[in-house]
Amino acid sequence: MNSARILRGVASAALRRRNVEMVIIAVLVVSIGSSLLARVLPSKEQWVSRKNLEPKELRPSLTLCTTFSDNPARFEVHSQTVYNWASLRPRLRPVLFAANLSSDLSLLAKSHGWEVQRVTKADKQGMPYINEMFKHIQAHYRSHFYGYANGDMLFSRSLTDTTESLPALLEGKSEQYVFVGQRRSINYVDMLKQDKEFWQPDHVHKYSCTKGHTDPPTSIDFFITTPFGFPWDTLPKLVVGKTRFDNYIIMMAMYLFMGTVDVTGTVHNLHMTGGGHMTHKDSGLADQSANERVINSFGRVAYELGSVANCKYFTRNTRNGMQMARLLQWQIPASFRGLQSERKETTKRNKKRKQGKKQGQEKGKQTGKEKEIEKEKGKEKGNRKQEKKQ
């Protein structure tokens, strides 16, 4: 708008003086200047988007995503999760990936301040891929950490206390991290009879310490990563809600020499069981071994390695606040070495094949050129013979 006004003013002044050259120069100067300013200065939309960005100190410490089952028997369970995660806002940003944005659970989540996103990439049963979920929340939301938890997990405020304490502990470290923890299971049917609001964070903290029983270290229902720390593009298409994807993620983090941290000591949680529809087999999802087939296509894997017990670090609460200490010096097991050697051999073979193809193509081109040269020489000799005969 300002450049147009300047152009009109200069043009009117030049026309009054009947100076055509001045009008042409003014048009060129204003057009070039406006184009340069447009490149340097942000547009109105960019200014609006910058204004809408949350200041660093007001950002949620954690963006936590999940997905719910369409099984009606699980509505009561998932509704407890909706209430619990919503009570941890604004320190936590809950995100639900749903195939049906108008379902009862989706509407319930929206009414309690959840972000609800449509599932765009999923398997035949509509279950989303874990790598696509992480890529989406990292691209659309800003927070200090990003995570996933199953739709039957409840947390106390210790979850956000931990994620808010971690940045100071990780300051100055170049290592990328994956945070996991053991779950503590409880029968939600029995808990609803005793306490209808057992989903409250303070109640979760209490029951996690008094009534919950710790599951094996390979039973991992939540994990958190540093922003863009895990290479999700390199991960195969693993589906949530089916077995082994969580163990494989921990194994890959170890394989990539990322810092794996056991936060069991500082994150109190409850895994809701009971009701007859709370296991992977009872969830109504067929082909529970789909993830295993995908993973085993790259080679045999010992899934027990993807355990909380094999984490490199652990967190603990002390009088001086939360600390992160080294648990063990993790070394690559023999099975991982075998995988590494197999991958190295396959990459070498692929390189040799590619080089062989390129060399064959180059040889083919050279032989083709040589044949053309020989043909041309033969033609020249024939022409010379004909000239001599004449």
Give dist(CA 385, CA 215) in Å, integer: 94
Which residue ranges make up each domain of the chain? 2-52, 60-328
Where do we find the tokens 């045999």? 300
Kindly state the tokens that stand for 165: 């304490």
Give dist(CA 41, CA 50) in Å, integer: 13
pTM: 0.70
- The answer on pLDDT for 69 being more than 50 is yes
The identity of residue 227, as a single letter, is: P
Give dist(CA 36, CA 16) in Å, integer: 29
Q: Assess contact for 9 and 29: CB atoms under 8 A.
A: no
Q: What is the pLDDT of residue 47?
A: 32
pLDDT band at 66 (very low <50, low <70, confident <90, very high): very high
Q: What is the pLDDT of residue 14?
A: 54
H helices of 195-268, where? 201-210, 245-255
Average pLDDT over the chain reads 80
Q: What is the pLDDT of residue 282?
A: 45
pLDDT band at 44 (very low <50, low <70, confident <90, very high): very low
321 against 390, higher pLDDT? 321
Q: Write the pLDDT tens digit of every residue in 119-172.
A: 988 888 888 999 999 999 999 999 999 999 999 999 999 999 999 999 999 998
Q: What is the 3-state secondary structure (H, E, C) of 17-33?
A: CCCHHHHHHHHHHHHHH
Give dist(CA 325, CA 314) in Å, integer: 6
Q: Write the pLDDT tens digit of every residue in 161-201.
A: 999 999 999 998 888 999 999 999 999 999 999 999 999 99
Q: What is the 3-state secondary structure (H, E, C) of 251-301?
A: HHHHHCCCEEEECCCCCCEEEEECCCCCCCHHHCCCCCCHHHHHHHCCCCC
Q: What percent of the chain has pLDDT over 90?
A: 46
Q: Assess contact for 264 and 177: CB atoms under 8 A.
A: no
Give dist(CA 360, CA 365) in Å, integer: 8
Find the mean pLDDT for residues 268-276.
Answer: 86
Give dist(CA 251, CA 206) in Å, integer: 32
Within a 13 Å sphere around the CA of 76, how many CA atoms are in the beta-carbon half?
A: 16
Please tell me what DSSP assigns to residue 239: B
Give the CA distances from residue 312 to residues 175, 258, 325, 328, in Å, rounded to whole numbers and listed in that order: 12, 9, 9, 5
Query: Which of 248, 218, 215 has its CA nearest to residue 230?
Result: 248
CATH topology of domain 60-328: Spore Coat Polysaccharide Biosynthesis Protein SpsA; Chain A (3.90.550)
For residue 184, give every residue at least 6 positions away whose Cβ sits within 8 Å of its Cβ, in sequence order, or none.
208, 212, 213, 214, 215, 268, 269, 270, 271
Kindly state the tokens that stand for 83: 């209430």
